[in-house]
Structure 1
C-alpha cells in the first residue's frame, strides 16, 4: 500500500515537471527553437492536457484538505496555520520583491538572459565562468518563466515552490518511517520554519531546488524498501537523481548513498535482474537530463566539473582526519550559532592549532575567508538555525541507535553529513549549502520530538512545545525582518522602489549603474559591450539596457573568443577605472562615476 498517495502524486508531478523543463530547453536549443512563441505554445498545450486529464485529482486536493481539517486536533491545526501563514507571507514577498540575491546578480540570472538572447544554452564568451560552469538546473526553470512572461517577475516562485514541496517531502518521509500524522506535521513545521529555508524561499538562489530533488530521491527510494515499484517509478527515481546533478553536484553527496542503499535492497531481496536493469534506467535517466550540460563543460574545461580554480575554491584539498574534524566543527558551529555569536569558535581554533591544522588554510577554507563568521543574523545567504539544527542532530543520534524503521535512514543521513564535511570546505555562506541535509534530517527530528509532545510528564511536553515555538518564531522573524527582502522595517518590500530593491545589497552602486545606462540609452547604441570583474553584477545591465544586444568583451574560454570592441556601439564597465581603460580606447572618451565606466563609440 502506498504511503501518503496524494503527496506522492504531487512529488512525482514535480519531478515530471522538472524533467520536462530541462529536456525542452535542451531539445529546443538543439533545433534552434528556444524562443518565446515556441515555449508559450508548448506550455499552453501542457496546461490543456493537465487540465483535461488531471482536473479530478486537482479538485480532490481540496477535498483531502477539508478531510484533514475536520479530523485534526487543536495542535495539528495550529501547526498547519503557522506553516501556511509563513508560506503565505513568503508568497507576498516573492511576488512583490524583484530578484536581488548577490550571486544571482553575478551569474545565476545573467546566464538566463544570454540564453534568451541567443536562443540556446550553448556557451558564450564571459569572464565570469561561473555563468557557464555552475550547474544550471534551477536556471533552466527560470528560463521558461523568462520566455513565458518576458521578465523576472515570477522568478522567486521557483524557490518558494521548492520550499513548499520540501515540507511535503519531509512529512511524507516521516510517514514512510512510521510517523503518525502529528509527527508528519511536526516535520513540515521544522523544515518550513528553518530560517535559511524561510529566507531562501523568496530568493533566486538554488539551494532549495537541489534540496527538493534530493528529497525526491529519498522518498522514492523509501518506496522501494518494502515493495516493488513499477518500472516508470524507477525512471522517475533516475530523473530526480539527474535533476540533482544538474542543479548542484553537492546534492549527490546525499543522493548517492540513498541510491546505493536502493541497489543493496534489491540485491538483498535477490532481485538480480531488477537491480541491474533498474540501475541502467537510473543511469540512463541521469545521462539524459545532465549529459548535454556535462558534455559542454567537459569540452570547454577538460573536466565535467568545471575549471580547476572553481573546483578548488569549494572542494577540500586535505582529507586527513584532523582537517576533516576541524572542517566539521566549523561547519557545525556556523550552522548552530545563536545570537550570542560564535561562542565556541575560540575553542575550535585552539583545537585546530593543537592538531596541526591552520583553521584559515586555503586548502580547507574558501579562498579569502576567515573563520569564524557571525552567521546568526537573518541574511538569506548565511543565517544559522540553532533550534532546528539541534533537533535534527539529536534525532539523528537517537534514531541511529534505536531499533526502529528509521535506523538505516538515520545512518544514511550521517553518511551524507560525513561526505559533505570531507568534500566541501567551510565557507561563510555554507549554511545555505546544507539545506538538502536539513530536509533529509527533518523527519528524524520529528520522529524524536513528536513522542515528547504526549509524554507523561507535563514539563517535558511544555518544554518541547516551547522549543518548537521558538524555532517557529525564528523563521517568522526571518521572514518579517530578514535581508535582503523583508516585510517590515527599513528596506521593506512595500516601501522601497523596485529598482532600489535590486541594488539593496549595494545601494551605492545603483546611481552609478543608472547614470551609465541613461547615457548609453540616450546615445541610441544598440549593441553594447560589457566589461566586468569576476564578482561584478552583470544582471542590472540586462534590466537597465532592456532591448539592447549585450555581449561580453572578455572571455576566459580559450575556444570561445570575445568579440572585438569595434563590433559594439557602446561599452559599460564595472571595475576600477584603470581596468576599464585597459580595454576602452581613449578616443572613445570613457566617463567614470564611482565603480562604473561607460564609453560611446565615436562617429567616424
Structure 2
C-alpha cells in the first residue's frame, strides 16, 4: 500500500507538469505502474520462503468460534460501510468547500498547480487523499467512488493495527482483537463512508508505526523506505502528523536494540529525503504562494488553529476539553453536569473554558450529545477501554514482556499532550483524534488479552462490534436503515450534497446549476463572493459551498471546464498560469444584493436570480 500511495503522488505530480492530468493520462500511468509491478513480482523469489507445512500451521494459536464469528460480523459491517460509501455522494462542509472543489479545479486545469480561489484551504493543505479522489474521478468520470478512499483507509488501519499488535508481542487472538477494536471505532465507522481525510491520515500514521516496529527486528532497506514514504504520505495527508508522529517515532526507536538504533540514525537522511520527495512539490508551491513551505501561519481566519498562550495551565485545560469530546452521553442532563465539572476543573487552575485564545473562533465550550454523525461523534466506549488498558499496562510496568507496549503507550500519550498543548479546541474536532484511537486499539488489545479473562474480553468485543454495526447502519446523514427523519443513502445525489444541515442552500444552488445546464456553455466561472476580508473569514461563508454546483454542471474537464472567477486576493496571481477560454456563464454566489458584482458582469446579456445567487449567461 505504501508504494501504491507513493504512486498516486508520483503520477499526479509528473502528469501535472505537461498538463496531462486527464482520464487518458491517469489510465496510461496506472497501466504502466501495474505492468511494472507484475514484472517486479515475477522476478522476485524469496530464497527463505517456507513451504506450507500443516504441522506448523496447526501449532499456531487458534481462534475460537466466537472470535471468528465476530470477525465475520466485522466483515459484514465493512460491507455496509462500503455500500454506503458507493451509494451516497461526498458531502459535509469540509468536503463541499475544500476537499472536493480543489479536485474539481485540478480536473478542469489538468494539473495540480495553485489557482485563483477565495478559499486558501483549497491550496495550502496537504493533498494525498484528494489526489486519490482525483484519480477515481478521472477514471470513472464522476464522484461515485471518491468515498472509497476513506473506506480503504478504514480497512487498512485495522490491518495495520493487527500487525502492530504482532510486533508488540501479541498472539493471533490479540491481533484479531486489535482489528476488532479498530474497525468498531464509532467516529471512524461514520467517517469511512465520506470524503473527509482523517482516516487516510490515521492509516498512514499507523502504517509508519508498523514499519518502524518491523524495522527494529528486520532493519532491511525495504522497511526503511516504507518508513520514509509512510511518514511522507501521512504528512501530505494532514498537517497534524507533524505533531503526532515524532513522539511515536521516538518511542519505537527507544525500544529497539542498540544495533537497530544506530542503523536507524544512519538511515535518517534517507527517510527524511523520502519525506521531502513526497511533500517537496507542495512545499515549493506554498513557498511561491506566501513564502512559507507549510503554507502556515498566514493571516487567514479559517486556519487560525494555534493556541496563543501555550503553557502548563492552558495545556491541562485543553486536555480536559479534548477528553470531553469522547465523554458525551445520550442524556442532555448528564452532559450538562459533565460540562459543569469540566468548567469547574478548568477554573480551579485559573483557565476560562471559553478562552478564545484556546478555543477556535470564540466558540463556547460544550459537551457534545452522543451522536451518529461524524463531525460530532465521540468514541466513549473506546476511550474508557483505552484508559483501562493504559492503567493495566502501567500497573504491570515491571513485566519485561510489557517493555515495548509500555514505551509505545508513552509515545501515544505524549503525542496527545503535545496535540492538546498546540491546537485550539473545536466541538467538531473529535475526528482529529482518530489516529490516537487507531493506535490505541493496539494497546487495548495487548492489555485485555494479557490481563483480562477471555470471557470478559469476548463480551467486550461483542459489544464493540454491535455498536460499530449500529453506526454503520444508521449514519445520521446517509443512513442505510430508514430512521426517523434522518437522511438515507438512497436520496437523490443532488440533494445529498447539502447534507449536514446545509439543506437550506439546496433550492437556489440546484436551480442555479440547472440554469447553466440549459445552455451549451462549456466554460463556466464560479464566483465565491464574500465581503469578508481574509482575516475575518472564519467559518466558510455559504458562497464557498461550491462543489454541488461543480458536480451538477458536470465540470469534469470534458463536458465543461470551470474555474473560480472574480478573485481579487493573494491567489489572483495564478490566473495567468491557469489560462482558460472566456466564460460564457458565471454563477455568482451571494451576489444578488451586491451592485459591484452586477457591474462586473454587465457584459453578459442575460441573468437569472435564485435567492442570493445570480447566473449570468449569453444565452439568447
- TM-score, normalised to structure 1, is 0.88
Aligned to 1:584: 598
Partner Cα distance (1:373, 1:293) in 2: 37
Aligned to 2:478: 485
Corresponding residue to 2:31 among 35, 44, 66: 44
Please report how far the alpha carbon of residue 527 of structure 1 lies from its aligned counterpart in structure 2 after TM superposition.
2.4
Deviations 1:294-346 (A, max 9, x none): 12112212222322435852222221111111111011011222223434211
Partner Cα distance (1:486, 1:314) in 2: 32
1:143 aligns with 2:134: yes
Contact 1:218/1:258 (<8 A) preserved: yes
Please report how far the alpha carbon of residue 182 of structure 1 lies from its aligned counterpart in structure 2 after TM superposition.
1.4
Contact 2:358/2:425 (<8 A) preserved: yes
Aligned to 2:288: 299
Partner Cα distance (1:379, 1:287) in 2: 36
Corresponding residue to 1:545 among 533, 548, 553: 553
Please report how far the alpha carbon of residue 147 of structure 1 lies from its aligned counterpart in structure 2 after TM superposition.
1.6
SS in 1 for 2:111: coil
Corresponding residue to 2:65 among 70, 74, 79: 74
Contact 1:555/1:562 (<8 A) preserved: no
1:285 aligns with 2:284: no
Contact 1:400/1:406 (<8 A) preserved: no
Aligned to 2:188: 197
Corresponding residue to 2:375 among 373, 377, 381: 381
1:512 aligns with 2:529: no
SS in 1 for 2:350: coil
Aligned to 2:204: 213
Aligned to 1:8: none
- Aligned ranges for residues 131-530 of structure 1 at < 5 Å? 131-225=122-216, 227-262=217-252, 268-269=258-259, 272=262, 274-306=263-295, 307-309=298-300, 313-341=304-332, 342=335, 343-401=337-395, 402=397, 403=399, 404=402, 405-451=404-450, 454=453, 461-462=455-456, 464-489=457-482, 490=485, 493=488, 495-505=490-500, 506-530=502-526
Please report how far the alpha carbon of residue 417 of structure 1 lies from its aligned counterpart in structure 2 after TM superposition.
0.9
Contact 2:251/2:410 (<8 A) preserved: no
Aligned to 1:17: 4
Range moving further from structure 2, 297-306 or 162-171 = 297-306
SS in 2 for 1:336: coil
- TM-score, normalised to structure 2, is 0.86
SS in 2 for 1:407: helix
SS in 1 for 2:527: strand
CA RMSD of aligned residues (A): 2.9
Partner Cα distance (2:496, 2:103) in 1: 20
Please report how far the alpha carbon of residue 512 of structure 1 lies from its aligned counterpart in structure 2 after TM superposition.
1.1
Partner Cα distance (1:542, 1:330) in 2: 37
Partner Cα distance (2:486, 2:41) in 1: 42
- Tell me which protein shows more helix as a share of its residues: 1
Contact 2:510/2:549 (<8 A) preserved: no
Contact 1:267/1:275 (<8 A) preserved: no
In structure 2, the CA distance between the partners of 1:445 and 1:266, relative to structure 1 (3 Å rule), is closer
In structure 2, the CA distance between the partners of 1:511 and 1:437, relative to structure 1 (3 Å rule), is same
Please report how far the alpha carbon of residue 164 of structure 1 lies from its aligned counterpart in structure 2 after TM superposition.
0.5
Q: Which runs of no fewer than 5 residues in structure 2 stay unpaired? A: 531-539
In structure 2, the CA distance between the partners of 1:267 and 1:87, relative to structure 1 (3 Å rule), is closer
Partner Cα distance (2:141, 2:458) in 1: 46
SS in 1 for 2:194: coil
Contact 1:213/1:241 (<8 A) preserved: yes
Contact 1:300/1:559 (<8 A) preserved: no
Aligned to 2:569: 556
Aligned to 1:10: none
Please report how far the alpha carbon of residue 434 of structure 1 lies from its aligned counterpart in structure 2 after TM superposition.
0.8
Please report how far the alpha carbon of residue 558 of structure 1 lies from its aligned counterpart in structure 2 after TM superposition.
5.1
Corresponding residue to 1:29 among 16, 22, 40: 16
